[in-house]
């Protein structure tokens, strides 16, 4: 198999509040022999909030991030659903609107860059599914997630709007990529209705009640369907569901207590990577499965 | 022909204490719509089965239901396509079972109330005897985008998770309508509408950005895109208030200019202000213990930060 190589756009959380995401991503990539080149020049994607304030600025900054992947001649992979959405949406708009692309490139020219549209942008999950292949991952599993009920929580921005993600072959109403990954790691995939629902992260500051109810409803659904752990490809969902369990429990009036892992963490566990390398000690809710 | 098992929600508010489900098996051909199935249930199985329908052409917006939880305009979605997603067991329910009146018929008062809140009509001085045509150019009309395609079916509203847990939230359909008239050059009530949609707890700042409205809209209106445009217009008209949500949006710019990356701790502090930020202490302590808080002196910065600073300076279009 040809060695896969991508430009990795880490986003901000992986460098700050979820260091375990970057650690585990790099360690599974190494184990799977996938080369990830860190885009250290990249800026924040604006997280869908900068866009509300200044759309043009957000387009220019996101286009600049893509330029760095293009200059390496590599496709970009993301490890945060919201980075993925904002980057993919920028790409979609620029690739389909010459006038807008010219406007953005006028700005980028001032710093010696040019957006061309030559690099694809996909979440790492879909690189594993479509480029690497779950069968290949399965063949490298040394510690199957045997008898562990894993509730996949997909996060909104990898699924919707699905028009952006035609290549992923994922139906936003019945996503399968993460569940199939869990199966290939030897785990049991929990069937529950809330797997494609919203965690409420984006209103956490201005409306914590909405955020806690949305996370709480999804987590209750997972727990009530016998999940032992939850897994998510999105660090923002993770920050809500791992860190905020005390607030969620209070809002829900029931005890919400379940380990929540990042996608590369469960892959890493099954590949036999050391806990420390996967940053399991950074998870706020104790991970008791290993 | 596919043999499909339908579970149909049945309830009559006048006589029933609780709803029940009827199970009906039917052969359904490839061209049949959910509405065709509902018609057949009424005509072939149970004449008392009730639902709203009229045009059968995706215009009147009356036949929306949910199939396996997915918001569906019954005269647009084919059973075949739903079977591809969910398999051959389909559950047909009203848009909001809590508001069921009879079977698929719900009380849509909450939808219409929100709709009416945004003055869903043109506010303009109309000269009844104009001397010349009042022409709106194609270019000027483009700003409205697809916002005037809305058929008030309620699919986005009853699929919106923010509406589900926050009954005060205006919801996507009403915000689309607000944009419909706020993008209209003839309209004179833009500022009033912006005041309405800018309120905390009810307006644009309470959208959770899940994009389900964009996914579910049968007319492909992309409501969240219109909500973003309303956000932009709030800043354009100088209507943004100095509150947590606005500071949260604006704070990204300052952080990006300073570090390239987002300074998460600083953003929370800047958005919440002091002393409100104190309520985050329990999480901050838990995160600190787990090595999840970056100290200011260790704050990572993007490489080539000068480029980012320059781009922020020359590309900014909005002030706050």
- The answer to the question of residue B173 being in a domain is yes
On whether both A210 and A250 belong to a single domain, the answer is: yes
On whether both A59 and A152 belong to a single domain, the answer is: no
On whether both B115 and B232 belong to a single domain, the answer is: yes
On whether both A221 and A154 belong to a single domain, the answer is: yes
Structure confidence at residue B285 (pLDDT)? 96
Model pLDDT for residues B258-284, shown as the tens digit of each residue: 999 999 999 999 999 988 999 999 999
Model pLDDT for residues B194-247, shown as the tens digit of each residue: 999 999 999 999 999 999 999 999 999 999 999 999 999 999 999 999 999 999
| Closest chain B residue to the Cα of A154, Cα to Cα | B210
On whether both B118 and B183 belong to a single domain, the answer is: yes
Model pLDDT for residues A128-155, shown as the tens digit of each residue: 999 999 999 999 999 999 999 999 999 9
Structure confidence at residue A1 (pLDDT)? 80
- The answer to the question of residue B29 being in a domain is yes
- The answer to the question of residue A290 being in a domain is no
On whether both B204 and B252 belong to a single domain, the answer is: no
On whether both B154 and B55 belong to a single domain, the answer is: no
Which of A19, A49, A65, A243 to probe by mutation at the B interface, max B CB count within 10 Å? Answer: A49
On whether both A116 and A148 belong to a single domain, the answer is: no
- The answer to the question of residue B27 being in a domain is yes
Structure tokens at A240: 């809500």
B119-130 average pLDDT score: 93
| Closest chain B residue to the Cα of A48, Cα to Cα | B209
Model pLDDT for residues A107-116, shown as the tens digit of each residue: 999 999 999 9
B174-185 average pLDDT score: 97
On whether both B86 and B121 belong to a single domain, the answer is: no
DSSP string of A132-188? I-HHHHHTT-SS--TT-EEEE---GGGTSSGGGGGGG---TTS--HHHHHHHHTT-E
DSSP SS3 for B96? coil
On whether both A237 and A180 belong to a single domain, the answer is: yes
Structure tokens at A141: 């599993």
Structure confidence at residue B126 (pLDDT)? 85
Those residues whose C-beta lies under 8 Å from the C-beta of residue A101, and which sit 6 or more positions away, are A94, A95, A115, A117
- The residue out of A90, A123, A156 marking a domain boundary is A123
Residue B142, CA distances (Å) to B175, B182, B228, B279 in order:
18, 13, 16, 45
The verdict on a CB contact (< 8 Å) between A61 and B256 is yes
- The answer to the question of residue A129 being in a domain is no
β-pairing verdict for B89-93 and B64-67: antiparallel
- The pLDDT-based confidence of A290 (bands split at 50, 70, 90) is low
- The answer to the question of residue B224 being in a domain is yes
Structure confidence at residue B1 (pLDDT)? 67
Full residue range of the structural domain in which residue A156 is found: 139-282
* Mean pLDDT of chain B, nearest integer: 96
Model pLDDT for residues A24-76, shown as the tens digit of each residue: 999 999 999 999 999 999 999 999 999 999 999 999 999 999 999 999 999 99
Chain A residues with CB-CB distance to B317 below 8 A: 54-57
Q: Does B83 touch chain A (CB under 8 A)?
A: no
Whole-number Å distance between alpha carbons of B254 and A242? 28
- The answer to the question of residue A134 being in a domain is no
* Residue in A41, A49, A217 nearest the CB of B302: A41
Chain B residues with CB-CB distance to A173 below 8 A: 68-70, 85-86
Which of B302, B305, B313, B318 to probe by mutation at the A interface, max A CB count within 10 Å? Answer: B302
On whether both A144 and A54 belong to a single domain, the answer is: no
On whether both B99 and B113 belong to a single domain, the answer is: no
Domains in chain A, number: 2
Chain A residues with CB-CB distance to B252 below 8 A: 44, 46-47, 49-50, 53
The distance of B122 to chain A (nearest Cα, Å) reads 25
On whether both B89 and B158 belong to a single domain, the answer is: no
Which of B168, B179, B211, B250 to probe by mutation at the A interface, max A CB count within 10 Å? Answer: B211
Structure confidence at residue A286 (pLDDT)? 92
Whole-number Å distance between alpha carbons of B279 and B320? 26
On whether both B32 and B88 belong to a single domain, the answer is: yes
- Give yes or no for residue B2 having a pLDDT over 90: no
Structure confidence at residue A5 (pLDDT)? 98
- The answer to the question of residue B120 being in a domain is yes
B41: left (phi over 0), alpha (psi -120 to 50) or beta: alpha
CA nearest to B253, candidates B235, B278, B229, B227: B235
The distance of B308 to chain A (nearest Cα, Å) reads 7
Q: What is the CATH number of the domain that holds A77?
A: 1.20.1050.140
On whether both B143 and B228 belong to a single domain, the answer is: yes
* Residue in A172, A206, A209 nearest the CB of B245: A206
On whether both B11 and B125 belong to a single domain, the answer is: no
- The answer to the question of residue A260 being in a domain is yes
- Give yes or no for residue B56 having a pLDDT over 80: yes
Chain B residues with CB-CB distance to A18 below 8 A: 292
- The pLDDT-based confidence of A263 (bands split at 50, 70, 90) is very high
- The answer to the question of residue A132 being in a domain is no
Q: What is the CATH number of the domain that holds B86?
A: 3.10.20.30
CB contacts under 8 A, B 4-63 vs A, are none
- The answer to the question of residue B320 being in a domain is no
Structure confidence at residue A275 (pLDDT)? 96
A-B contacts (CB, under 8 Å):
204
Q: What is the CATH number of the domain that holds A270?
A: 3.40.50.11810
Q: Does B241 touch chain A (CB under 8 A)?
A: no
A272: left (phi over 0), alpha (psi -120 to 50) or beta: left
Chain B residues with CB-CB distance to A214 below 8 A: 161, 165, 208
On whether both A116 and A145 belong to a single domain, the answer is: no
Those residues whose C-beta lies under 8 Å from the C-beta of residue A47, and which sit 6 or more positions away, are A12, A82, A83, A86, A202, A236, B252, B262
The verdict on a CB contact (< 8 Å) between A44 and B262 is yes
Q: Are A16 and B259 in contact (CB under 8 A)?
A: no
On whether both A154 and A272 belong to a single domain, the answer is: yes
On whether both A153 and A236 belong to a single domain, the answer is: yes
CA nearest to A152, candidates A50, A239, A234, A208: A234
* Mean pLDDT of chain A, nearest integer: 97
Domains in chain B, number: 3
- The answer to the question of residue A199 being in a domain is yes
On whether both A51 and A144 belong to a single domain, the answer is: no
Full residue range of the structural domain in which residue B287 is found: 244-315
- The answer to the question of residue A287 being in a domain is no
On whether both B287 and B259 belong to a single domain, the answer is: yes
Structure confidence at residue B134 (pLDDT)? 84
DSSP B33: B
Q: What is the CATH number of the domain that holds B185?
A: 1.10.1060.10
Chain B residues with CB-CB distance to A172 below 8 A: 215
The verdict on a CB contact (< 8 Å) between B264 and A16 is yes
Q: Are B271 and A205 in contact (CB under 8 A)?
A: yes
On whether both B93 and B51 belong to a single domain, the answer is: yes
Q: Does B315 touch chain A (CB under 8 A)?
A: yes
Torsion of CA B235, B239, B243, B247, to 10 degrees: 10
HSE of B90, CA atoms in CB hemisphere, 13 A: 30
On whether both A248 and A179 belong to a single domain, the answer is: yes
Model pLDDT for residues A194-245, shown as the tens digit of each residue: 999 999 999 999 999 999 999 999 999 999 999 999 999 999 999 999 999 9
- The pLDDT-based confidence of A289 (bands split at 50, 70, 90) is low
The distance of B126 to chain A (nearest Cα, Å) reads 33
CA nearest to A49, candidates A206, A245, A269, A226: A206
On whether both A276 and A160 belong to a single domain, the answer is: yes
Q: Does B285 touch chain A (CB under 8 A)?
A: no
What is the percentage of chain B residues whose pLDDT exceeds 90? Answer: 96
- The answer to the question of residue B35 being in a domain is yes
């Amino acid at each position: 198999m040809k060695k896969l190589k991508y430009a990795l756009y880490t986003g901000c959380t992986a460098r700050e509040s979820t260091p375990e995401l970057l650690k585990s991503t790099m360690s599974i990539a190494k184990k799977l022999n996938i080369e990830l080149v860190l885009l250290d020049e990249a800026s924040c994607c604006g997280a869908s909030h900068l866009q509300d304030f200044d759309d043009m600025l957000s387009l220019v900054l996101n286009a600049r991030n893509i330029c760095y992947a293009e200059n390496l001649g590599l496709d970009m992979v993301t490890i945060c659903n919201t980075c993925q959405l904002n980057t993919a949406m920028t790409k979609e708009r620029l690739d389909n609107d010459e006038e807008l692309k010219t406007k953005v490139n006028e700005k980028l020219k001032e710093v010696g860059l040019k957006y061309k549209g030559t690099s694809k942008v996909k979440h790492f999950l879909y690189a594993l599914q479509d480029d690497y292949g779950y069968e290949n991952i399965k063949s490298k599993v040394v510690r199957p997630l045997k008898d562990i009920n894993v509730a996949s929580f997909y996060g909104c921005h990898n699924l919707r709007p699905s028009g952006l993600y035609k290549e992923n072959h994922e139906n936003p109403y019945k996503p399968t990529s993460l569940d199939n990954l869990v199966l290939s790691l030897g785990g049991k995939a929990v069937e529950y209705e809330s797997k494609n629902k919203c965690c409420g992260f984006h209103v956490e500051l201005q409306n914590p009640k909405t955020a806690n109810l949305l996370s709480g409803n999804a987590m209750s659904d997972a727990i009530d369907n016998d999940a032992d752990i939850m897994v998510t490809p999105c660090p923002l969902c993770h920050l809500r569901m791992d860190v905020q369990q005390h607030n969620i429990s209070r809002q829900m009036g029931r005890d919400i207590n379940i380990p929540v892992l990042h996608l590369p963490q469960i892959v890493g566990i099954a590949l036999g990577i050391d806990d420390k390398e996967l940053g399991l000690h950074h998870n706020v809710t104790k991970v008791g499965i290993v | 022909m596919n043999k499909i098992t339908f579970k149909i929600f049945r309830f009559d508010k006048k006589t029933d204490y609780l709803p029940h489900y009827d199970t009906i098996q039917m052969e359904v051909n490839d061209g049949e719509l959910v509405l065709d199935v509902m018609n057949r249930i009424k005509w072939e199985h149970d004449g008392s089965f009730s639902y709203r329908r009229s045009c059968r052409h995706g215009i009147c917006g009356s036949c929306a239901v949910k199939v396996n939880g997915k918001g569906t305009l019954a005269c647009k979605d084919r059973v075949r396509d739903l079977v591809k997603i969910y398999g051959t067991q389909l559950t047909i329910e009203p848009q909001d079972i809590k508001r069921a009146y009879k079977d698929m018929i719900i009380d849509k008062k909450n939808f219409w109330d929100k709709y009416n809140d945004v003055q869903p009509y043109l506010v303009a001085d109309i000269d009844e005897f104009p001397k010349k045509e009042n022409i709106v150019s194609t270019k000027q009309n483009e700003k409205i985008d697809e916002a005037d395609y809305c058929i008030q079916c309620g699919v986005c509203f009853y699929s919106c998770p923010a509406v589900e847990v926050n009954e005060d939230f205006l919801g996507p359909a009403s915000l689309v309508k607000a944009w419909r008239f706020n993008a209209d050059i003839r309209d004179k009530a833009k500022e009033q509408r912006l005041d309405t949609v800018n309120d905390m707890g009810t307006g644009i700042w309470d959208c959770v950005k899940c994009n389900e409205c964009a996914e579910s809209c049968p007319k492909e209106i992309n409501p969240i895109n219109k909500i973003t445009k309303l956000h932009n217009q709030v800043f354009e008209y100088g209507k943004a208030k100095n509150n947590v949500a606005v500071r949260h949006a604006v704070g990204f710019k300052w952080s990006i200019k300073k570090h390239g990356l987002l300074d998460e701790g600083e953003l929370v502090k800047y958005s919440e202000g002091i002393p409100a930020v104190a309520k985050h202490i329990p999480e901050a302590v838990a995160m600190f213990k787990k090595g999840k808080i970056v100290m200011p002196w260790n704050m990572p910065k993007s490489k080539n930060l000068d480029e980012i600073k320059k781009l922020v300076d020359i590309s900014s279009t909005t002030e706050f």
